[in-house]
Structure 1
Amino acid sequence: MKIGIIGAGAIGQYVADRLAERELGPHVVLVRSDPAGGVMEGVPRVRSVDDLPEGMSVMVDCAGHAGLAAHGCAILERGIGLITVSLGALADPDLADALADAARRGRAQLHLASGAIGALDTLQAARVGGLDAVTYIGRKPPLGWRGSPAEQQLDLDTLSAAAVHFEGTAREAAIAYPKNANVAAAVALAGAGFDATRVQLIADPVVTANIHEIHATGAFGGFTFRIEGKTLPDNPRSSALAAMSAIAAIERQIAPVTI
């Protein structure tokens, strides 16, 4: 396989390092501008999908919502598979439809990595029988919400007790919190959909990890899932598991047996 990466941030660098360990590449990185500091040293860089080399098998989007919106359709139309961790971008129905149409035209697939959450296989299976209710609760330390609308709701620097700063649908969360609500989008896409999935976001000065919970009921019964996720050392806003899930998605592409 010829594997490329979109974006040269913390997640992109993690994916590049793990690919190199597995002798899988990366073969190219698509960036808006040349990153500083020797990021992905030795990997060819391009700034346009048109400049990607022939024979690319899959691109891994590590550039956030803007990267998926800017390059996703062109990549899929070229017949190149695309793995993304930017699931929140699909809360925009126009972009979601455009990506699906591009994948059909290019006979390619858009693969949604599980990101910072688990239990999505359970939600997908439960959806077959019908889901009655799905709720996602995201809890982070106050500093984890820096740069988000939480700053307009709370004084993150002086918060002394857990406080809810958002309640609404997964679609509303994904649009309002593009850098924080990819997990809410993943839960919605796997289960009841963007408009039927309820979301609660909490700033909590007591916790030291990013905590994600799913609560679901349906014809299958009910379940609760909770994970305490660590961030990447190079970027406290990037989930380590989200980066790992991109590698897992690549491995499923090449493995003779998958789960």
Structure 2
Amino acid sequence: MSAIGIIGQGAIARYIAQALAEDGTPITAVLARPGREEVARIAIGAEVVANATVMATCADVVIDCAGHAGLTAHGATLLGAGCEVVTLSLGALADPVLVAQMKDAARVGGGTLRLASGAIGALDALSAAAVGGLEHVRYIGIKPPHGWAGSPAEEALDLATLTAPATHFTGTARAAALAYPKNANVAAAVALAGIGFDATEVQLIADPGATQNTHRIEARGAFGSFDFTISGNALPDNPKSSALAAMSAVRAARNGAAWMRF
């Protein structure tokens, strides 16, 4: 198996590192923010590298678990060095400037960006339906109030006192991905699989009665229609992070499977 590096040391990164170590494929290097090197070394159990250029000498496959900022800072360099980058930070692809930079780098260096499916399913059906034409795609994301902590939801709602479900965002997938970089990667995945960032509708809801993170896709087109819902558990260490998202990255690293290459 290829040498695997990882960007980040949060809950998702730790889950991935442990799962791959159990497979006998430990992470070879971890790239962390300045000042977080020792934390990353202990959390991931791997050599800490200072930048993406060094990472590219240690790993053939690099898993990005550092959010939009991680992909923005390191994606183009890694692709330009010929690495395969597996990312969960799909919302970052709402930025057309970043997309152009990474495509140019991949073209020159031969790297590949692979998109992990993250916390959602049915992307294969949605992307197939897009071939025949889609008239409507809407993504609805529902989390407990604490799952929206640190996001713009705090400005729209008093999360601590909610007694009923409340919508705090309605708009396009592009607007959601850019405004909620830690919460709306699923919206971006739905947009990329279907009719794009600007045509995909998004509704984000805080529900005090919710115990899981629920993701719903409504789609209608030439194929017919579907309504897909999945309720997933968050990682114990971080209520904003889906356990299934971490699992999807492990699957991509294990066998090269990714629902989309970008």
Could you tell me how far apart the structure 2 residues matched to 1:129 and 1:223 are? 14
Q: Is 2:92 the partner of 1:84? A: no
What is the match of residue 24 of structure 1? 25
2:70 counterpart (67, 72, 77): 67
| TM-score computed with the length of structure 2 as normaliser | 0.94
Write 1 or 2 for the structure with the bigger share of helix. Answer: 2
CA contact (8 A) 1:8 1:35 kept: no
Q: Is 2:240 the partner of 1:237? A: yes
CA contact (8 A) 1:115 1:242 kept: yes
SS of alignment partner, residue 132 of structure 1: strand
What's the % identity of the aligned pairs?
Answer: 59
Summarize deviations over 1:57-83 as a string: whole Å, max 9, x none.
210001110000000000000001100
1:116 counterpart (110, 115, 119): 119
CA contact (8 A) 1:61 1:85 kept: yes
What is the match of residue 224 of structure 2? 221
How far the C-alpha of 1:52 sits from its partner, in A, is 2.4
CA contact (8 A) 1:135 1:216 kept: yes
Higher mean displacement: 52-61 or 209-218:
52-61
What is the match of residue 39 of structure 2? 36
SS of alignment partner, residue 52 of structure 1: helix
Mark the runs of 5 or more structure 2 residues left unpaired by the alignment. Answer: none
2:190 counterpart (169, 173, 187): 187
What is the match of residue 159 of structure 1? 162
Summarize deviations over 1:168-191 as a string: whole Å, max 9, x none.
000000011111100000000111
How far the C-alpha of 1:254 sits from its partner, in A, is 7.8
Could you tell me how far apart the structure 1 residues matched to 2:257 and 2:172 are? 36
4+ residue runs over 2 A deviation: 35-38, 52-56
| TM-score computed with the length of structure 1 as normaliser | 0.95
SS of alignment partner, residue 143 of structure 1: helix
How far the C-alpha of 1:35 sits from its partner, in A, is 4.1
1:144 counterpart (141, 147, 150): 147
| CA RMSD in angstroms, aligned pairs only | 1.5
What is the match of residue 208 of structure 1? 211
- Paired residues, number: 254
CA contact (8 A) 2:5 2:28 kept: yes
How far the C-alpha of 1:34 sits from its partner, in A, is 1.1
In 2 relative to 1, CA 162–108 (structure 1 residues): closer, same or farther, beyond 3 Å? same
Higher mean displacement: 131-140 or 19-28:
19-28
SS of alignment partner, residue 163 of structure 2: coil
Higher mean displacement: 97-106 or 71-80:
97-106
Mark the runs of 5 or more structure 1 residues left unpaired by the alignment. Answer: none
SS of alignment partner, residue 196 of structure 1: coil
SS of alignment partner, residue 90 of structure 1: helix
The amino acid across from 2:171 in the alignment is G
